[in-house]
Homo-oligomer: A and B are copies of this chain.
Amino acid sequence: MILSQAITVIESNLADDRKLSTRLLEKIIHATGKSIRIGITGVPGVGKSSFIESFGTHITSLGKKLAVLTVDPSSQITKGSILGDKTRMEGLSRQPSAYIRPSPSGSTLGGVAQKTNDVMLLCEAAGYEIIIIETVGVGQSEVSVKNLVDFFLLLMLAGAGDELQGIKKGITEVAHAIVITKADGDNIKNALAAKASYEQALHLNPSTGTAWTPKVLTTSAHTKKGIEEIWRLITSYVDQSTADGTFVTNRKAQNNDLLQIYFQELLGLDVARFRSWQSEREKLQGKVFEKKISANAAAEKLLRTYHSAIRENSE
C-alpha cells in the first residue's frame, strides 16, 4: 500500500528520507486539509480502543473513509509504547475504508506532533475524510495534539473521582465534549450521575474565547448507545464553527503554532550537525558540572559557538 510506504518515509529520521519527505509533502500539500480531524483522549483503562472500534465502525458504515492515528508520548521516556497496535481494534482494522496507524516515534513532543501532522496530511491526500488522533491521556501529549485537531473528545469513567481525571482544569479546557464510557448494565445510573456532575462543573468553569459550550454524553461500546449521537454532535460542531468562522480561526492558529514547532525541530538538527558545537558542548558540560561556570553562561558560550559555525560555513 503506497500510503504506508509514504508514511514510513515521513517517520524516518534519516537525512535522505527527510529530504524525500519534504519533496513528498510539497507534492500533496494542495490536496490536504479537507478532513474532519478528531482528537480522542482519556486515561488508560477508560476504554479508548473499544470506543474507537465502535465509533469508527459507525463512521465507515456511513460510507466515509477513516484513518486512526495514535500518539503515545510515553515512548519518549520508555522507548516502548503503552498502546498496542491494530490488534486493539480488530473489527475496525478489517474494514477496507479504515486505516489504523500506530504512534510515530520521536525524541521530543514537538517531533511527535510534527510527524503526526505530516502523517495526517498524507492520509488526507490519500482521500481519508475523517481522521481520529488518539492520545494516551496522561497529560503530556494533549497540548500538542490540540494543535492538530478540530474537535477534542475526552473519555471519562463514571465514579473514578474528578480530581484524578483532571476534570477541573487542564484537559477539559481543550475538550469540546466529554464522553462517559461504559454506560451499560448496572453502571448506567453512575454514568448519568457523572454526566450531571460534569455538566455542572463545565457550567461553573466555562471555556473562554469560543461560542461552543462543551457537551457531556454517555456511551457504551458494548450496546453502542450514544455512538450515533456523538457523531451528530461532531458534525453539528463543524457546521456551527464553520458558520461562525471559529473553524478557520482555529486552523489558522494551529497552522502558526505548527510552523513554529517544525522550525524548532529543524533548528535542533541544524545545531547538532556542527562538530565545533558538539565538542564545545562536551567541554562545557564538564565545566558546569564542576561549578566553574553557570549553565546560563555556558549556554551563552554555546550560542556564540553556533553563530561562529554558521558564519564560517558555506555562505
Contacts and interface: CB of A to CB of B under 8 A. Distances in A.
A141 to B, nearest CB: 9
Given A294-B26, A296-B21, A299-B266, A163 B45 contact: yes
A233 to B, nearest CB: 24
Contacts of A43: 163-164, 166
Given A26-B294, A44-B163, A82-B170, 17 more contacts: A25-B295, A29-B291, A29-B294, A32-B291, A74-B170, A78-B170, A139-B139, A140-B140, A255-B288, A255-B289, A259-B298, A262-B296, A262-B299, A263-B281, A263-B302, A267-B306, A311-B315
23 contacts: A22-B294, A22-B297, A26-B294, A43-B166, A44-B166, A45-B163, A46-B163, A78-B170, A82-B170, A114-B295, A138-B170, A138-B171, A157-B164, A161-B164, A164-B165, A256-B285, A258-B288, A259-B285, A259-B298, A264-B268, A267-B267, A267-B303, A267-B306
Interface string A127-142: 0000000000011100
Nearest to A18: B296
A190 to B, nearest CB: 14
Nearest to A74: B170
Nearest to A257: B285
Residue of A21, A294, A297 most packed against chain B (CB within 10 A): A294
Residue of A114, A251, A259, A266 most packed against chain B (CB within 10 A): A259
A35 B86 CA distance: 48
Contact of A259 (B161, B255, B271, B288): B288
A299 B259 contact: yes
A231 to B, nearest CB: 27
A3 interface: no
A207 to B, nearest CB: 11
Contacts of A281: 259-260, 263
A120 to B, nearest CB: 12
A295 B148 CA distance: 13
